[in-house]
Amino acid sequence: MPEIQTYPVNPDRNQPWNGLPLLPIAPSLYRDVDIYEQLGKAKEALAMLAGRSIAIPNPGMLINSISLQEAKVSSAIENVFTTDDELYRAISDSKIDSEAPGPAKEVLRYREALWTGYHYLKEKGRFDREYFIKLYQIIQDSSDGIRPPFARTFIRMGGTGPNAGKPAYTPPRGKGIVEAKLDNLIQFLNDEQSQPDDILLKMCIAHYQFEVIHPFRDGNGRAGRIMNLHIITRNQLLDLPILYLSRYILEHKHDYYENLAGVSRYGNWKSWFIYMLKAVEWTSKLTLRKVNDIIDSKDEILQVLREQTDVRRPEDLCEAIFTQPYIKVNHLTNRGLYAENTARNYLNQLSELQVLQKKEIRGRHYYINPALVEILAY
């Protein structure tokens, strides 16, 4: 593939790329008919999702369920796998402790970082170093910060072939170098006058730049994917970070890494832009289907509650059982909805009606919402 001369490429994958160009990039790298065509599709799909999410009476109903799947899939990209059962039990127990399996704890930390960063930007209004360090520390359960100059960091080739383990890329390294590159990215994110003025194009550029800066020892991929969602929400393309963006990356993982490398090695920004914009389009449509299915399923079950039970405040109970797939009695009592005996009675009624499935695990009773589990699984 020929080099695009307007973008300086990485001359040696075995040496730190301290010459990584600062932002912004040349406009000629994204002023392209194919890129703009895909941008239009992505913006249309995202706008439809945004419009639907605004119309939901209680968007909090979707926050746990969809953001939890984003956390699970983003972690799977880094080869951190957990079963739905382990994850849903861990979140229903409302804790990240020694009882939760290791992979489930990592997924829950991702979700915590997602929401911590979201609220941080709501309060501060701007990206800064502290924002990125907070994400990293939560994801990795670490007190470290930006990797020190002496830390020899390489992105190595995977697989089992003759090149397995060899450096595919070496990120910048040296006193003050990583900090300077990160500060430039932060300025780019905060500067509303910087080009491009389209937020999705800016997100594509920022995600690439963050990954190649690789400011932390580990967790950069997950932090970068969280940043994507926060760029979208901070710029009000979505009110809440419910876009299931990591699903596309997981299903097209090889292309993700190939296109990242394509920018560094060949200056091929076009393929990177189109890949990321397709991810936004595809996952916006997928998330919208999930949102609609959750709402439709909730409405059907609400009708059952009204017609076949004596439940008080059926709307509140229905929203509660769609907040997360596994429900316990204390989820209802902690919300102040019902007393303990009443809550248990209502959940048992729903189990008898096969709205919920009652399950005992290690002496704990869980009430599983099979409709929500099925929606989240596809």
Angle (CA) 226-245-144 rounded to 5° is 20
Contact (Cβ atoms closer than 8 angstroms) between residue 300 and residue 62: no
Q: Compute the average pLDDT of residues 312-324.
A: 92
Query: Cα 225 from chain centroid?
Result: 6
Query: Rounded CA gap, 271 and 41, in Å?
Result: 16
Q: Has residue 205 got a pLDDT over 80? A: yes
Domain boundaries of the chain, sorted by first residue: 27-289, 309-377
User: Residue 179 is encoded by which pair of tokens?
Assistant: 């900090």
Q: How far is CA 45 from CA 42, 56, 220, in A?
A: 5, 17, 27
Identify the pLDDT of residue 110.
Answer: 86
The DSSP string of 144-206 is --SPPTT----EE--SSSTTTTSEEE----STTHHHHHHHHHHHHHH-TTSSP-SHHHHHHHH
Is the confidence at residue 219, as pLDDT, over 50? yes
Give pLDDT tens digits for 118-132: 999 999 999 999 999
Q: What is the pLDDT of residues 253-289, one digit of tens each?
A: 999 999 999 999 999 999 999 999 999 999 999 999 9
CATH class, domain 27-289, is mainly alpha
* pLDDT tens digit sequence for 13-30: 999 999 999 999 999 999
Binned at pLDDT 50, 70 and 90, residue 236 comes out as very high
| Count of positions (residues) in the chain | 378
* pLDDT band for position 84 (cuts 50, 70, 90): low
- pLDDT for residue 162: 76
Give φ, ψ of 79 to 5 degrees: 65, 30
- Is residue 57 classed exposed, middle or buried when 0-12, 13-18 and 19+ CB atoms within 10 A define those classes? exposed
249: confidence class by pLDDT, cuts 50, 70, 90? very high
Query: Is the predicted pLDDT of residue 226 greater than 50, yes or no?
Result: yes
pLDDT at residue 76, as a whole number: 74
Highest mean pLDDT among 41-45, 77-81, 161-165: 41-45
| pLDDT value of residue 105 | 79
Q: What average pLDDT does this structure show over 370-375?
A: 91
How far are the Cα atoms of 61, 82, 274 from residue 259, in angstroms, in the given order? Answer: 35, 27, 10
- Give pLDDT, residue 94: 53
Q: How confident is the model at residue 3 (pLDDT cuts 50, 70, 90)?
A: very low
For residue 117, give the nearest of 142, 140, 134, 137 by alpha carbon: 134
* pLDDT band of 97, cuts 50, 70, 90: very low
Containing 139, the helix (H) or strand (E) segment is: helix 129-140
Q: Distance (Å, rounded) from C-alpha 4 to C-alpha 297?
A: 50
Query: What is the structure's pLDDT at 108?
Result: 81
Using one digit for the tens of pLDDT, what is the confidence trace for 139-159?
999 999 999 998 888 888 776
Q: How large is the average pLDDT for residues 5-19?
A: 90
CATH topology for 309-377? Arc Repressor Mutant, subunit A (1.10.10)
Place 104 in a pLDDT band, splitting at 50, 70 and 90: confident
Q: Which of 58-62, 173-177, 182-186 has the lowest mean pLDDT?
A: 58-62
- Average pLDDT taken over every residue of the chain: 89
Q: What is the pLDDT of residue 194?
A: 87
Q: How does 349-375 read in b/e, with b if 16+ C-beta sit within 10 Å?
A: bbbeeebbeeeeeeeeebbbbebbbeb
pLDDT at 159: 67
